[in-house]
Structure formats: structure tokens, C-alpha cells
Amino acid sequence: MAADSNFSIGRRMLVAQAGIALAAAAIRKGVRAANAPSSVMLQLSAYLAEAGNRPLPDDVVEKAKHHILDTFAAMVSGSLLAPGSAALQYARAGGGRGAATIVASTLTASPVEAAFVNAMLAQSDETDDSNEFSQSHPGCAIVPAAFAMAEQFGSDGNRFLRAVTLGYDIGPRVTISFGALDFRNKSHKSTHAIAEIFGSAAAAGCIAGLGAQQMRWLLDYTAQQSAGIGAWTRDTQHMEKAFVFAGMPAKNGVLSALLVHSGFTGIDDIFSGTDNYFLAYAPNANQDELIKDLGNRYEITRTNIKKWSVGSPIQAPLDAMDNIFRKRDVDPASVRSIVVRVAHTEARIVDNREIPDICLQHIVAIMLLDKTVSFQATHDKARMSDPDVLRVRIKVELIPSDELEALEPARHAIVEIALNDGTVLTDHVAHVRGTADNPMDRGEVARKATDLIEPVLGKANSTALIDKLMRLEKLNDLRGLRPLLQKT
């Protein structure tokens, strides 16, 4: 009996152990299944990994050159403004040494710090580009991030072009998947910071040559660093705005790429599973937007280059006034009133702001007086108290429009200039100059860049830099740009 009992007990133990083993195997299988990358992540990470060697259509290459030039011009001109000056002082305090160029200075820094400082320079102002579909300013973060990494890795112009284009493709798609405009208005988070960190990380990872698995980890570390809240709109000095839109996302995006390149591993799919990024930020997002039309719809071709060095909501009103002035000479003394209608969401950004280049009433007054708006004029704060300007400014009325709000994110504007003799001059701008529906040509982009670069770096460097950037595919090493970007 004892033997039979021992046999029975042993048999039960074996059965129990087998059950435990089977259960453990099932758990491991379940864990693997739960943690396996989704089809969206697999497609996205493969696209990211292959982008560095994937040729771009000729028209996309041309458009990428325009945005790269426009962003470098913003960096150079930004060195003259308070956020840029503060960023340069930050670089000096850090010793100013490393493999990457600090634009418009004699300094260098690590790629992380160079990306931060150059991005701050690029968003010191309102000259940088914007993507209305994603509610972001891609270039001011993506181009500095890609440039810092390109210098670190000795990349050529072709890879740089592809990396920048990839950044524009990935970053904006993240906030597009959120439903960007509604998310911006209701979440209290910054769509700009979110789109730009993912764009910067994608571009940086492309330069580093990360594989598909590494790109999944890159997205993981990028999601963990994603930040930025809408309080930047209360910043009266453009300092915090430059940090949120550009400096922080560029720096964090480069850091993500360098961490993974150095051997950091992470979660295979931060976009799905327990406590994933989308649950934390936008539970109702449509993740299919992350991969929709990749390789066919290039977001860089849908991104706006500003004709005027002012906030995006003021672009259409200035275009409208320019159209009116092309048809008729308008003496400021003959003007009784100027009514400007824009969408509610645009009006609140530019209504009687303290900063000249994002104050609609002030800029409209300058446009009437000067018949144009130069970079110098948009940054002349003293003119905000000029009696001649104030006499015109008091005639300007900004009216938030329900009709134009319904057309968002397209930035329409209606301007009505009423003259003392009863004449009313009106223009409605539906397609702002520099947008995909009304793009600036190479000559216009180059002329804008010259206006921004030449006063800082001189005519010779300005001309040579523009020529180099317009022939980027011929450049063997991005490090060759440093002598043209720095002060002697």
C-alpha cells in the first residue's frame, strides 16, 4: 500500500509539474503575443529604417531644399533675437566644444546641445515653416536635429535630404493621428512639441542608420520624452515658445537616437499594449494615420514657407493687403478703418500681443505705412510706441469669424480697407503665399533667405551657403557647411 501511495503521489506531482509547465508556456506565449509589435508599428519601423537609402522624387527633393534653406536662414537671423542670444549664452557657458556647429557663432558643441541651441535659434522668431494639418512647425526642430547628427556621423547631402524629409513625414503624422486641431484646442498639450520631437527623432535615427528594431526602440524613448503644454501661449518674450516648439524636441529627438545607437534597448511597441503612448495622450487617435500614404504623400510638400516674417495667422491678412496695394496706391491718411477677419483660433493668437511680429494690429499698421513688412520692421519693438504707427493702429479692427473658423485648418483672411471718400477695398485670401496651394518658387525662397542671412554672415557667405544648400545632393559631407554658417 505504501508503494502504491508513493506512486500515486509521485504521479500527481508529475501531472502538477506538467500543468505548471504548460501554464507557464501559455503565459510566456501570451506575453509574447501581447508585446508583439502591431502591424502599424512593423510598417512604420520598416519605413523608418529604409528611408536613408530610399531615393526621393525630384519634386520632393526640390521642396526639401527650400525648407532646409528656409530653416538655416531662420537659425542665422534668430541669433539677433532674445531667445537666440540666450541659447548662444547657454552654449558658451557649456564650454562651446564638440563635433557639431553652433550657427552664427564661433562655437561647437555635442550633437545634443547643438541641436538644442540651433533649434532655439530657428524658432527665435516667426520666420520658420509650419504644417497646418498637424498644427506644428516641423523645420525649426527637425533640420537642426538632422544637421547635428549629420556632422557627428559625417553624412552626405543625399542622406541629409532623406532624413529631413523623413522627419517631416513622421512627426506631423503623429499629431494628425490625434486630430491635431481639436486635440490642440481641448487637451492643453502642445501639438508643436509632440510632432517635432517625433520628427526630430526620426531624422536623427535615419542619420544614425538605425535598423527596424532599433527604430521601434527609438520611438519608445521618444514617447517617454514627449512633453509640452499649451501654456506657451502666455509667453510674452517668445523664449518659452522657442523652447517648446524647437529646442526641447530637437534635443530630445537627438538624445533618443544616440541612446539607441549606443546600445539602449526598450519596448518593441510603445504605441500599443499596456500603458501605451496613445492611451496616455490621445485614446481616440486613429493610428492608421501614422502609416497612411507613406512614400506617396510627403508632408514636406504640404508644409508652408512663410513669405512674411510674422506669425502664421498674420500671413493671409498681409497677402490680402499686398493684393490690394498691387491694384491701387493707398495713402495712409485716406484710410478711415481697416477690418481684418480671421478664424477664432487664429485671432486669439495674434490679438494685440506684446511682441511685434505676432501682433496683428501692429503689423497691419506697419504694412499700410511701409507697403511691405521686412524682417527688420517686424522686430523693431520701438515702433510699437511710434505715434505714426499708433495713429494707424487705432483704425485696425480684428474680428474673429465663425465663417472662417469653419474652414480651419486652412488660414483664410478677409481684409476691408475703408477710405474717407466711402470707397471700400476688399480682398479675401484663401491660399496664403507659401502654402502647398500657392507655393513660393526657388527665387522667392532664396530672396527671403538672403534678407535673413546677409546682415549676420555677410554677402559672400550668404551667397555661397544658399548655393550649397540648393545643391545638397552634391555635398559629400555636411561638415563642409561650417565655414559658411559661422562668424569669423
In a domain, 455, yes or no: no
Q: Do both 385 and 417 map to the same domain?
A: yes
Q: Do both 23 and 48 map to the same domain?
A: no
**pLDDT tens digits, residue range 316-337?**
999 999 999 999 999 999 999 9
Q: How many CA atoms lie within 13 A of 303 on its CB side?
A: 33
Closest CA to 414 of 326, 300, 480, 321: 321
Q: Do both 337 and 288 map to the same domain?
A: no
Q: Domain range spanning residue 126? A: 40-306
Per the structure block, which three cell numbers stand in for 417?
480697407
Which of 411, 429, 447 represents a domain boundary (last residue)?
A: 429
In a domain, 52, yes or no: yes
Q: What whole-number distance in Å separates Cα of residue 141 and Cα of residue 146?
A: 9
Q: Measured at the alpha carbon of residue 390, what is the angle toward residues 384 and 392, in degrees to the nearest 5? A: 125
On whether the pTM is more than 0.75, the answer is yes
**pLDDT tens digits, residue range 460-480?**
999 999 999 999 999 999 999
Per the structure block, which three cell numbers stand in for 297?
504623400
Per the structure block, which three cell numbers stand in for 481?
557647411
Q: For the chain, how many structural domains are there in total? A: 3
Q: Do both 208 and 82 map to the same domain?
A: yes
Q: Which pLDDT does position 16 carry in this prediction?
A: 44
Per the structure block, which three cell numbers stand in for 476?
559629400
Residue 266 has pLDDT above 90, yes or no: yes
Residue 270 has pLDDT above 70, yes or no: yes
CATH of the domain at 196: 1.10.4100.10
Q: Do both 20 and 60 map to the same domain?
A: no
CA distances from 302 to 73, 222, 319, 327, 434 (A): 20, 24, 19, 30, 10
Q: What whole-number distance in Å separates Cα of residue 245 and Cα of residue 130?
A: 11
Q: Do both 18 and 97 map to the same domain?
A: no
In a domain, 60, yes or no: yes
**pLDDT tens digits, residue range 12-64?**
444 445 544 544 444 444 444 457 999 999 999 999 999 999 999 999 999 99
Q: What whole-number distance in Å separates Cα of residue 272 and Cα of residue 237?
A: 39
